[in-house]
Amino acid sequence: MRATGLRCVNCGRGYPLGLHYHCENCDFPLDVVYDPPSPSEAYETPGKQGIWRFEACMPSVEDPDQVSLGEGNTPLIAASRLGAAFGIPNLFLKNEGTNPTGSFKDRPNSVGVSVAKSLGVEAVVMSSTGNAGASLAAYGARAGMRTLVVVTEQTPPAKLTQMVMHGARIVVVRGSLSDAYWLAFHAAREWNWMDLTSTFLCPYTTEGDKTVAFELFSQLGRAPDVIVVPVSVGPLLVGTYKGFEELRSRGLVDRLPRMVAAQSEACAPIAAAFAEGRAEVRPWEGTVLTVAGGIADPLRGYEKDGTYTLRVVRQSGGCALASSDQEIVEATRRLARQEGVFSEPTGAVGVAALTHWKRQPQFSPDQTVVCLVTGHGLKQVRAFDHEVRLPPAIDPTLDALRKSLEEDPGVL
Protein backbone atom coordinates (compact mmCIF):
# COMPACT_ATOMS: atom_id res chain seq x y z
CA MET A 1 0.00 0.00 0.00
CA ARG A 2 1.82 3.08 -1.27
CA ALA A 3 0.75 6.73 -1.32
CA THR A 4 0.33 7.72 -4.97
CA GLY A 5 -1.09 11.23 -4.86
CA LEU A 6 -3.71 13.58 -3.47
CA ARG A 7 -7.37 13.87 -4.43
CA CYS A 8 -10.07 16.41 -3.65
CA VAL A 9 -12.76 14.89 -1.44
CA ASN A 10 -15.43 16.89 -3.28
CA CYS A 11 -14.71 17.22 -7.01
CA GLY A 12 -12.14 14.42 -7.32
CA ARG A 13 -9.40 16.54 -8.89
CA GLY A 14 -6.01 14.89 -8.49
CA TYR A 15 -2.69 16.38 -7.37
CA PRO A 16 0.82 14.96 -7.07
CA LEU A 17 2.32 14.32 -3.66
CA GLY A 18 4.05 17.40 -2.28
CA LEU A 19 3.18 20.67 -0.59
CA HIS A 20 -0.50 21.22 -1.40
CA TYR A 21 -3.42 22.44 0.66
CA HIS A 22 -7.07 22.82 -0.34
CA CYS A 23 -8.34 22.01 -3.83
CA GLU A 24 -7.65 24.84 -6.28
CA ASN A 25 -10.90 24.04 -8.08
CA CYS A 26 -13.50 23.95 -5.26
CA ASP A 27 -11.57 24.76 -2.05
CA PHE A 28 -12.44 21.45 -0.34
CA PRO A 29 -9.83 19.37 1.52
CA LEU A 30 -7.44 17.01 -0.22
CA ASP A 31 -7.04 13.38 0.78
CA VAL A 32 -4.01 11.10 0.45
CA VAL A 33 -4.65 8.31 -2.07
CA TYR A 34 -2.97 4.88 -1.87
CA ASP A 35 -2.51 1.85 -4.09
CA PRO A 36 -4.83 -0.98 -3.05
CA PRO A 37 -3.12 -3.27 -0.52
CA SER A 38 -1.94 -6.65 -1.72
CA PRO A 39 -3.53 -9.68 0.01
CA SER A 40 -0.25 -10.64 1.68
CA GLU A 41 0.76 -7.13 2.78
CA ALA A 42 0.83 -6.55 6.55
CA TYR A 43 -0.42 -3.23 7.84
CA GLU A 44 1.98 -3.33 10.82
CA THR A 45 5.77 -3.24 10.55
CA PRO A 46 7.43 -5.67 13.01
CA GLY A 47 9.81 -3.97 15.42
CA LYS A 48 8.34 -0.50 14.94
CA GLN A 49 6.84 1.39 17.88
CA GLY A 50 4.00 3.88 18.20
CA ILE A 51 2.07 5.10 15.18
CA TRP A 52 4.96 4.45 12.81
CA ARG A 53 4.42 0.73 13.13
CA PHE A 54 1.57 1.50 10.72
CA GLU A 55 3.91 3.15 8.21
CA ALA A 56 2.61 0.87 5.44
CA CYS A 57 -0.67 2.81 5.68
CA MET A 58 0.83 6.29 5.86
CA PRO A 59 2.66 8.73 3.55
CA SER A 60 6.05 7.37 2.54
CA VAL A 61 8.68 8.84 4.85
CA GLU A 62 12.13 7.29 5.19
CA ASP A 63 13.21 6.25 8.69
CA PRO A 64 15.66 9.17 9.19
CA ASP A 65 12.85 11.65 8.50
CA GLN A 66 10.28 10.02 10.79
CA VAL A 67 9.89 12.40 13.72
CA SER A 68 8.54 10.57 16.74
CA LEU A 69 8.27 11.06 20.50
CA GLY A 70 6.63 7.68 21.11
CA GLU A 71 3.10 8.84 20.34
CA GLY A 72 0.25 6.36 20.11
CA ASN A 73 -0.32 3.10 21.99
CA THR A 74 -2.80 4.93 24.20
CA PRO A 75 -4.87 2.85 26.64
CA LEU A 76 -8.41 1.68 26.01
CA ILE A 77 -10.22 1.56 29.35
CA ALA A 78 -13.42 -0.36 30.05
CA ALA A 79 -15.52 2.30 31.78
CA SER A 80 -17.79 0.00 33.77
CA ARG A 81 -18.90 2.52 36.42
CA LEU A 82 -19.49 5.33 33.95
CA GLY A 83 -21.16 2.91 31.57
CA ALA A 84 -23.55 1.72 34.27
CA ALA A 85 -24.47 5.32 35.07
CA PHE A 86 -25.25 6.04 31.41
CA GLY A 87 -26.92 2.71 30.72
CA ILE A 88 -24.19 1.77 28.24
CA PRO A 89 -22.54 -1.36 29.70
CA ASN A 90 -20.03 -1.70 26.85
CA LEU A 91 -18.52 1.76 27.21
CA PHE A 92 -14.80 2.32 26.63
CA LEU A 93 -12.51 5.33 26.95
CA LYS A 94 -9.56 5.81 24.58
CA ASN A 95 -7.30 8.01 26.71
CA GLU A 96 -5.37 10.22 24.31
CA GLY A 97 -4.10 12.31 27.22
CA THR A 98 -1.28 9.79 27.64
CA ASN A 99 0.42 10.93 24.42
CA PRO A 100 3.83 12.64 24.86
CA THR A 101 2.51 16.22 25.02
CA GLY A 102 -0.81 15.26 26.62
CA SER A 103 -3.22 15.20 23.67
CA PHE A 104 -4.13 13.35 20.48
CA LYS A 105 -2.50 16.14 18.45
CA ASP A 106 0.79 14.25 18.65
CA ARG A 107 -0.50 11.78 16.07
CA PRO A 108 -1.12 14.27 13.23
CA ASN A 109 1.89 16.39 14.13
CA SER A 110 4.26 13.43 14.06
CA VAL A 111 3.16 12.72 10.49
CA GLY A 112 2.97 16.38 9.43
CA VAL A 113 6.43 17.28 10.72
CA SER A 114 7.88 14.08 9.26
CA VAL A 115 6.50 14.93 5.81
CA ALA A 116 7.78 18.50 6.18
CA LYS A 117 11.24 17.19 7.01
CA SER A 118 11.19 14.81 4.06
CA LEU A 119 10.25 17.73 1.77
CA GLY A 120 13.15 19.83 3.05
CA VAL A 121 10.93 22.40 4.76
CA GLU A 122 12.81 24.50 7.30
CA ALA A 123 9.94 26.05 9.27
CA VAL A 124 6.41 25.04 10.26
CA VAL A 125 3.51 27.20 11.38
CA MET A 126 -0.03 26.73 12.65
CA SER A 127 -2.90 28.43 14.41
CA SER A 128 -4.00 26.72 17.59
CA THR A 129 -6.22 26.88 20.65
CA GLY A 130 -3.35 25.32 22.57
CA ASN A 131 -2.95 21.55 22.28
CA ALA A 132 -1.92 21.45 18.63
CA GLY A 133 0.54 24.29 19.16
CA ALA A 134 2.09 22.65 22.21
CA SER A 135 2.44 19.45 20.22
CA LEU A 136 3.88 21.15 17.14
CA ALA A 137 6.41 22.96 19.31
CA ALA A 138 7.64 19.62 20.67
CA TYR A 139 7.83 17.90 17.28
CA GLY A 140 9.41 20.95 15.69
CA ALA A 141 12.06 20.90 18.40
CA ARG A 142 12.60 17.18 17.87
CA ALA A 143 13.08 17.76 14.14
CA GLY A 144 15.28 20.84 14.57
CA MET A 145 12.77 23.06 12.75
CA ARG A 146 11.76 26.63 13.41
CA THR A 147 8.20 26.70 14.72
CA LEU A 148 5.67 29.53 14.84
CA VAL A 149 2.33 29.14 16.65
CA VAL A 150 -0.45 31.72 16.28
CA VAL A 151 -2.83 31.70 19.25
CA THR A 152 -5.69 33.76 20.64
CA GLU A 153 -5.81 35.63 23.92
CA GLN A 154 -7.90 32.83 25.46
CA THR A 155 -5.18 30.16 25.19
CA PRO A 156 -4.64 28.37 28.55
CA PRO A 157 -1.32 29.28 30.23
CA ALA A 158 -0.26 25.65 30.69
CA LYS A 159 -0.36 25.12 26.93
CA LEU A 160 1.58 28.32 26.29
CA THR A 161 4.21 27.11 28.76
CA GLN A 162 4.66 23.93 26.74
CA MET A 163 5.18 25.95 23.57
CA VAL A 164 7.72 28.26 25.20
CA MET A 165 9.71 25.44 26.78
CA HIS A 166 10.05 23.74 23.40
CA GLY A 167 11.36 26.94 21.84
CA ALA A 168 8.43 27.85 19.60
CA ARG A 169 7.79 31.45 18.62
CA ILE A 170 4.32 32.48 19.83
CA VAL A 171 2.19 35.20 18.27
CA VAL A 172 -1.00 36.24 20.08
CA VAL A 173 -3.75 37.75 17.92
CA ARG A 174 -6.82 39.70 18.89
CA GLY A 175 -9.92 37.89 17.71
CA SER A 176 -11.12 34.33 17.19
CA LEU A 177 -9.36 31.14 16.19
CA SER A 178 -10.45 31.84 12.61
CA ASP A 179 -8.46 35.08 12.70
CA ALA A 180 -5.43 33.13 13.90
CA TYR A 181 -6.02 30.57 11.14
CA TRP A 182 -5.83 33.16 8.38
CA LEU A 183 -2.70 34.82 9.76
CA ALA A 184 -0.90 31.46 9.85
CA PHE A 185 -2.22 30.68 6.36
CA HIS A 186 -0.87 33.87 4.82
CA ALA A 187 2.43 33.67 6.75
CA ALA A 188 3.09 30.19 5.36
CA ARG A 189 2.69 31.45 1.83
CA GLU A 190 4.67 34.62 2.38
CA TRP A 191 7.74 32.83 3.71
CA ASN A 192 7.34 29.35 2.17
CA TRP A 193 6.70 27.60 5.48
CA MET A 194 4.53 24.51 5.89
CA ASP A 195 1.15 25.20 7.50
CA LEU A 196 0.18 22.31 9.78
CA THR A 197 -2.92 23.89 11.31
CA SER A 198 -5.02 21.00 12.58
CA THR A 199 -7.99 21.50 10.28
CA PHE A 200 -7.97 19.68 6.93
CA LEU A 201 -5.59 22.25 5.47
CA CYS A 202 -2.60 19.92 5.26
CA PRO A 203 -3.72 16.58 3.80
CA TYR A 204 -1.01 14.55 5.51
CA THR A 205 -1.87 15.20 9.15
CA THR A 206 -5.20 13.34 9.01
CA GLU A 207 -3.19 10.23 8.15
CA GLY A 208 -1.82 10.33 11.69
CA ASP A 209 -5.34 10.50 13.11
CA LYS A 210 -6.37 7.29 11.40
CA THR A 211 -3.92 5.33 13.58
CA VAL A 212 -6.57 5.60 16.31
CA ALA A 213 -8.62 3.13 14.25
CA PHE A 214 -5.72 0.71 13.89
CA GLU A 215 -5.12 0.74 17.64
CA LEU A 216 -8.81 0.28 18.45
CA PHE A 217 -8.88 -2.74 16.14
CA SER A 218 -5.83 -4.19 17.91
CA GLN A 219 -7.37 -3.55 21.33
CA LEU A 220 -10.93 -4.73 20.62
CA GLY A 221 -10.33 -7.23 17.84
CA ARG A 222 -13.12 -5.61 15.85
CA ALA A 223 -14.64 -2.24 15.02
CA PRO A 224 -16.74 -0.70 17.80
CA ASP A 225 -20.36 0.10 17.01
CA VAL A 226 -20.03 3.79 17.88
CA ILE A 227 -17.12 6.22 18.30
CA VAL A 228 -17.80 9.58 19.95
CA VAL A 229 -15.27 12.28 19.10
CA PRO A 230 -14.89 15.86 20.39
CA VAL A 231 -14.92 17.92 17.21
CA SER A 232 -13.76 21.39 16.28
CA VAL A 233 -13.26 20.93 12.53
CA GLY A 234 -13.16 17.16 12.39
CA PRO A 235 -9.90 15.56 11.17
CA LEU A 236 -9.74 13.20 14.16
CA LEU A 237 -13.24 11.91 13.42
CA VAL A 238 -12.63 11.67 9.67
CA GLY A 239 -9.19 10.13 10.10
CA THR A 240 -10.48 7.48 12.50
CA TYR A 241 -13.27 6.58 10.09
CA LYS A 242 -10.80 6.43 7.18
CA GLY A 243 -8.66 4.05 9.21
CA PHE A 244 -11.56 1.65 9.60
CA GLU A 245 -12.34 1.96 5.89
CA GLU A 246 -8.78 0.83 5.17
CA LEU A 247 -9.11 -2.06 7.62
CA ARG A 248 -12.27 -3.12 5.79
CA SER A 249 -10.46 -2.94 2.44
CA ARG A 250 -7.97 -5.43 3.89
CA GLY A 251 -10.77 -7.73 5.02
CA LEU A 252 -9.96 -7.22 8.71
CA VAL A 253 -13.33 -5.75 9.69
CA ASP A 254 -16.69 -6.36 8.05
CA ARG A 255 -18.49 -3.19 9.15
CA LEU A 256 -17.74 0.41 9.99
CA PRO A 257 -18.54 2.33 13.19
CA ARG A 258 -21.08 5.09 13.49
CA MET A 259 -19.22 8.36 14.08
CA VAL A 260 -20.67 10.88 16.54
CA ALA A 261 -19.30 14.44 16.39
CA ALA A 262 -19.49 16.06 19.83
CA GLN A 263 -19.41 19.86 20.10
CA SER A 264 -20.08 22.62 22.62
CA GLU A 265 -23.39 24.48 22.38
CA ALA A 266 -21.36 27.70 22.49
CA CYS A 267 -19.69 26.86 19.16
CA ALA A 268 -21.42 24.10 17.23
CA PRO A 269 -21.42 24.80 13.48
CA ILE A 270 -21.40 21.11 12.53
CA ALA A 271 -24.00 20.03 15.09
CA ALA A 272 -26.25 22.91 14.04
CA ALA A 273 -26.07 21.90 10.39
CA PHE A 274 -26.88 18.30 11.29
CA ALA A 275 -29.83 19.27 13.51
CA GLU A 276 -31.25 21.54 10.82
CA GLY A 277 -30.83 18.95 8.07
CA ARG A 278 -28.51 21.16 6.05
CA ALA A 279 -26.05 19.76 3.52
CA GLU A 280 -23.50 22.48 4.21
CA VAL A 281 -21.94 23.88 7.36
CA ARG A 282 -22.14 27.63 7.93
CA PRO A 283 -19.62 29.68 9.92
CA TRP A 284 -20.58 30.14 13.58
CA GLU A 285 -21.69 33.70 14.24
CA GLY A 286 -21.24 35.73 17.40
CA THR A 287 -18.84 35.59 20.32
CA VAL A 288 -17.36 32.19 21.08
CA LEU A 289 -16.86 31.56 24.80
CA THR A 290 -16.89 28.04 26.23
CA VAL A 291 -15.07 25.98 28.83
CA ALA A 292 -14.25 23.61 25.94
CA GLY A 293 -11.99 26.13 24.25
CA GLY A 294 -10.07 23.45 22.36
CA ILE A 295 -13.02 22.94 20.00
CA ALA A 296 -14.19 26.56 19.81
CA ASP A 297 -13.61 27.10 16.10
CA PRO A 298 -16.21 29.18 14.23
CA LEU A 299 -14.89 27.93 10.83
CA ARG A 300 -15.04 31.39 9.27
CA GLY A 301 -13.70 31.15 5.75
CA TYR A 302 -13.03 27.40 5.84
CA GLU A 303 -16.51 26.10 6.62
CA LYS A 304 -16.12 23.57 3.79
CA ASP A 305 -13.84 21.63 6.13
CA GLY A 306 -16.83 21.31 8.45
CA THR A 307 -19.04 20.26 5.54
CA TYR A 308 -16.60 17.43 4.80
CA THR A 309 -16.87 16.22 8.40
CA LEU A 310 -20.66 16.47 8.25
CA ARG A 311 -20.69 14.27 5.14
CA VAL A 312 -18.57 11.61 6.84
CA VAL A 313 -20.80 11.67 9.93
CA ARG A 314 -23.88 11.07 7.78
CA GLN A 315 -22.12 8.46 5.64
CA SER A 316 -21.30 6.51 8.79
CA GLY A 317 -24.89 6.58 10.06
CA GLY A 318 -23.87 8.73 13.00
CA CYS A 319 -24.84 12.21 14.12
CA ALA A 320 -23.50 15.51 15.45
CA LEU A 321 -24.50 16.61 18.96
CA ALA A 322 -23.89 19.66 21.15
CA SER A 323 -23.63 19.84 24.96
CA SER A 324 -23.82 22.75 27.38
CA ASP A 325 -20.84 23.93 29.40
CA GLN A 326 -22.56 22.61 32.51
CA GLU A 327 -22.82 19.15 30.95
CA ILE A 328 -19.19 19.28 29.84
CA VAL A 329 -17.92 20.24 33.30
CA GLU A 330 -20.01 17.49 34.88
CA ALA A 331 -18.63 14.96 32.38
CA THR A 332 -15.09 16.04 33.28
CA ARG A 333 -15.86 15.52 36.97
CA ARG A 334 -17.44 12.11 36.39
CA LEU A 335 -14.50 10.92 34.28
CA ALA A 336 -12.11 11.77 37.09
CA ARG A 337 -14.18 10.47 40.00
CA GLN A 338 -15.74 7.38 38.47
CA GLU A 339 -12.97 6.16 36.17
CA GLY A 340 -9.78 7.89 37.36
CA VAL A 341 -9.27 9.70 34.04
CA PHE A 342 -8.36 13.37 34.44
CA SER A 343 -9.41 15.14 31.25
CA GLU A 344 -9.44 18.75 30.23
CA PRO A 345 -13.00 19.97 29.51
CA THR A 346 -12.56 19.66 25.74
CA GLY A 347 -11.48 16.04 26.13
CA ALA A 348 -14.66 15.21 28.03
CA VAL A 349 -17.07 16.60 25.43
CA GLY A 350 -17.59 13.12 24.00
CA VAL A 351 -18.67 11.81 27.39
CA ALA A 352 -21.02 14.78 27.80
CA ALA A 353 -22.60 13.85 24.47
CA LEU A 354 -23.57 10.37 25.68
CA THR A 355 -26.73 11.73 27.32
CA HIS A 356 -27.79 13.12 23.95
CA TRP A 357 -26.68 10.01 22.05
CA LYS A 358 -29.07 7.87 24.11
CA ARG A 359 -31.98 9.90 22.69
CA GLN A 360 -31.02 9.19 19.09
CA PRO A 361 -32.90 6.57 17.05
CA GLN A 362 -29.61 4.82 16.25
CA PHE A 363 -28.90 4.13 19.94
CA SER A 364 -29.04 0.64 21.39
CA PRO A 365 -27.88 -0.27 24.93
CA ASP A 366 -25.97 -3.30 23.66
CA GLN A 367 -23.68 -1.19 21.46
CA THR A 368 -19.94 -1.09 22.04
CA VAL A 369 -19.27 2.64 22.40
CA VAL A 370 -15.82 4.25 22.47
CA CYS A 371 -15.37 7.83 23.66
CA LEU A 372 -12.12 9.48 22.61
CA VAL A 373 -10.79 11.49 25.57
CA THR A 374 -8.60 13.87 23.65
CA GLY A 375 -6.52 15.79 26.22
CA HIS A 376 -5.14 15.52 29.76
CA GLY A 377 -6.58 17.64 32.57
CA LEU A 378 -3.16 19.05 33.40
CA LYS A 379 -3.38 20.98 30.13
CA GLN A 380 -6.02 23.27 31.62
CA VAL A 381 -5.81 22.99 35.42
CA ARG A 382 -7.09 26.51 36.01
CA ALA A 383 -10.45 25.41 34.67
CA PHE A 384 -10.82 23.42 37.88
CA ASP A 385 -9.78 26.04 40.44
CA HIS A 386 -13.37 26.22 41.71
CA GLU A 387 -13.21 22.50 42.58
CA VAL A 388 -10.34 22.97 45.04
CA ARG A 389 -11.60 23.95 48.50
CA LEU A 390 -9.08 22.81 51.09
CA PRO A 391 -10.18 22.45 54.73
CA PRO A 392 -8.24 24.19 57.52
CA ALA A 393 -4.90 22.62 58.47
CA ILE A 394 -4.91 20.21 61.43
CA ASP A 395 -2.35 18.94 63.92
CA PRO A 396 -0.65 15.70 62.80
CA THR A 397 -2.53 13.51 65.32
CA LEU A 398 -5.20 10.83 64.97
CA ASP A 399 -7.52 12.75 67.28
CA ALA A 400 -7.34 15.80 65.05
CA LEU A 401 -7.83 13.64 61.96
CA ARG A 402 -10.82 11.87 63.56
CA LYS A 403 -12.45 15.18 64.39
CA SER A 404 -11.85 16.48 60.87
CA LEU A 405 -13.41 13.36 59.32
CA GLU A 406 -16.41 13.58 61.64
CA GLU A 407 -17.00 17.17 60.54
CA ASP A 408 -16.96 16.08 56.88
CA PRO A 409 -18.12 12.43 56.81
CA GLY A 410 -18.40 12.48 53.04
CA VAL A 411 -14.62 12.34 52.64
CA LEU A 412 -14.36 8.61 53.48
- Print pLDDT tens along the chain (412 aa): 789 999 999 999 999 999 999 999 999 999 999 988 776 778 889 888 899 999 999 999 999 999 999 999 999 999 999 999 999 999 999 999 999 999 999 999 999 999 999 999 999 999 998 899 999 999 999 999 999 999 999 888 889 999 999 999 999 999 888 899 999 999 999 999 999 998 999 999 999 999 999 999 999 999 999 999 999 999 999 999 999 999 999 999 999 999 999 999 999 999 999 999 999 999 999 788 899 988 999 999 999 999 999 999 999 999 999 999 999 999 999 999 999 999 999 999 999 999 999 999 999 999 999 999 999 998 877 777 777 788 889 999 999 999 988 887 665 5
Measure the CA–CA gap between 247 and 336, rounded to whole angstroms. 33
pLDDT of residue 384: 76
CA trace torsion 12, 13, 16, 21 (10° rounding): -90
* β partners of residue 124: 147, 194
Phi and psi torsions of 98, nearest 5°: -90, 0
pLDDT of residue 96: 98
Please check whether residue 252 lies inside any domain of the structure: yes
Strand 3-8 vs strand 14-15: parallel, antiparallel, or unpaired? antiparallel
Structural domain boundaries, residue 331: 76-102+205-384
Q: Where are the beta strands (DSSP E) in 219-264?
A: 226-230, 258-264
Please check whether residue 8 lies inside any domain of the structure: no
pLDDT of residue 374: 97
Rounded to two decimals, the pTM is 0.94
Q: Which residue from 151, 164, 169 is spatially nearest to 294, judged by alpha carbons?
A: 151
Please check whether residue 400 lies inside any domain of the structure: no
Measure the CA–CA gap between 389 and 290, rounded to whole angstroms. 23
Please check whether residue 267 lies inside any domain of the structure: yes
Measure the CA–CA gap between 200 and 234, rounded to whole angstroms. 8
Please classify residue 306 by burial: count the beta carbons closer than 10 Å to its beta carbon, then call 0-12 exposed, 13-18 middle and 19+ buried.
buried
Please check whether residue 64 lies inside any domain of the structure: no
Please classify residue 239 by burial: count the beta carbons closer than 10 Å to its beta carbon, then call 0-12 exposed, 13-18 middle and 19+ buried.
buried
Q: Which residue from 306, 236, 305, 314 is spatially nearest to 27, judged by alpha carbons?
A: 305
CB atoms under 10 Å from CB of 315, counted, come to: 12
CB atoms under 10 Å from CB of 142, counted, come to: 17
CB 273, CB 282: distance < 8 Å: yes
Measure the CA–CA gap between 54 and 71, rounded to whole angstroms. 12
Quick one: how far is CA 78 from the chain centroid?
20
Phi and psi torsions of 154, nearest 5°: -95, 5
Please check whether residue 93 lies inside any domain of the structure: yes
Q: Which residue from 107, 147, 125 is spatially nearest to 197, judged by alpha carbons?
A: 125
pLDDT of residue 411: 56
pLDDT of residue 163: 95
**Distance of CA 161 to CAs 155, 169, 196, 205, 263, Å?**
10, 12, 20, 24, 26
Domain of 301, CATH number, reads: 3.40.50.1100
pLDDT of residue 47: 86
Please check whether residue 312 lies inside any domain of the structure: yes
The number of distinct structural domains making up the chain is 1
CB 408, CB 395: distance < 8 Å: no
pLDDT of residue 304: 97
Please check whether residue 130 lies inside any domain of the structure: no
